[in-house]
Amino acid sequence: MELLYALLRHHARLGWWLAKHGREDLPRNRLLAWLMLKEGKALDQIKRLFNGAKFAPASLMDHEHALLVKLQGCTIDHPGMPEEVKLECPSWAADPLRRRFKEAFGNEMAALLTSAPLDLRVNPIKSTREAVLGALKDLGLRAEASAMAPYGIRVNERPSLASLPMLKTGEVEIQDEGSQLVAMLVGARPGERVVDFCAGAGGKTLAIAAQMNNKGHVVACDVMDGRLKRSAERFRRAGLHNIETRLLASETDRWIKRHKGGFDRVLVDAPCSGTGTWRRNPDARWRAPEEQGLDNLVSLQARILASAARLVKPGGRLVYATCSMLPAENEEQMAAFLARHPAFRAVPLLEAAPQLTNSAHSDYLSLTPARNDTDGFFAAVMQREATPPPSAS
């Protein structure tokens, strides 16, 4: 698996070298190039690996041998590579990310080529951060309290997940620190009614329900039945009983109209390009959002947000979040929503979560791998006014 992830993190550069020497972009050619350009193996070493013996790759063909001869003495990076290739940034995302990060573009893209850390979120229904830190120490693991998330723990090594008994008992969940902070921004309190509108596998739902101390009511919605069924098992393991799952036919399901204005908090963790998760999912940069197009994705986000907003009661809060770092999916999406929905106002981050002082944006939560050592996340808190505006005459 580590080799596969490494090849994905060098996808553009390996392709550039193969194109430079007129070779087909085939998995075997990529592996050969990797062994020489990144692992620094000599031609004779590679020939011994590819010897055609049982359980070994087939012997090198003449054109493969010729490719390796051309690559001798080279390394994975080359001065002639375009910046996007060297930084493994797909063309569809390069311009918006450059505009977003300006002079920090190179640093942010380099951070996305590193491996993501292992972050845990302690379930306060079942344990405490101090107790889990002690248990991890007893297992011989180096771990520390997260810098920002109040229930977060960062494990500074790569243990087998099967060796962590606290995962099986529901005392902890695997969750990036940035994702934990998004759930924290919801600010759900015991006894409230809350909707996680795009619940997916339920990670943020778990954090929200635990915030509420198992009191009140949380509805985890999604359009994928399989995700909801898997999340229900996680809820049971965590000892959380205040969660209901709700399968929606679409973002405009009739259930939404029936429950209009019925919830104190609504989280919209919208489907997005996933640019903030590239270090965790290195394959994502080469396939999303080309399946449906970024413009179509932004349009879908706007429809989901507008529909979910109907669920927020007067005085309640709506939280919009993505794991994207593209302005079109984040700040621009917020500006468009607020312009169309005057009943909502943006709640500045200092007001919503004064303890979060290291956001790249003063009004919204904006986290990046280089700046915060989290996945890239965006979250905006909006409040519906307590009384509706007067109708235009």
DSSP letter string over 87-133?
Answer: TT--HHHHHHHHHHHGGGHHHHHHHTTSPPPEEEEE-TTT--HHHHH
Domain 118-174: assigned CATH number: 3.30.70.1170
Which residue out of 198, 221, 272, 323 is catalytically annotated? 323
pLDDT per residue, tens digit, the chain (393 aa), is 789 999 999 999 999 999 999 999 999 999 999 999 999 999 999 999 999 998 899 999 999 999 999 999 999 999 999 999 999 999 999 999 999 999 999 999 999 999 999 999 999 999 999 999 999 999 999 999 999 999 999 999 999 999 999 999 999 999 999 999 999 999 999 999 999 999 999 999 999 999 999 999 999 999 999 999 999 999 999 999 999 999 999 999 999 999 999 999 999 999 999 999 999 999 999 886 655 688 999 999 999 999 999 999 999 999 999 999 999 999 999 999 999 999 999 999 999 998 888 887 888 999 999 999 999 999 999 999 987 656 544
Domain 177-384: assigned CATH number: 3.40.50.150
Would you state the structure tokens that stand for residue 61, as one six-digit string?
A: 């063909």
- Please state, in angstroms and rounded to a whole number, the distance separating the CA atoms of residues 48 and 88: 31
Range(s) of the chain covered by CATH 3.40.50.150 = 177-384
Phi, psi of 347 (to 5 degrees): -95, 115
Q: Is 221 a catalytic residue?
A: no
Q: How far is CA 346 from CA 10, 322, 337, 355, in A?
A: 40, 16, 10, 18
The reported pTM is 0.93
Range(s) of the chain covered by CATH 3.30.70.1170 = 118-174
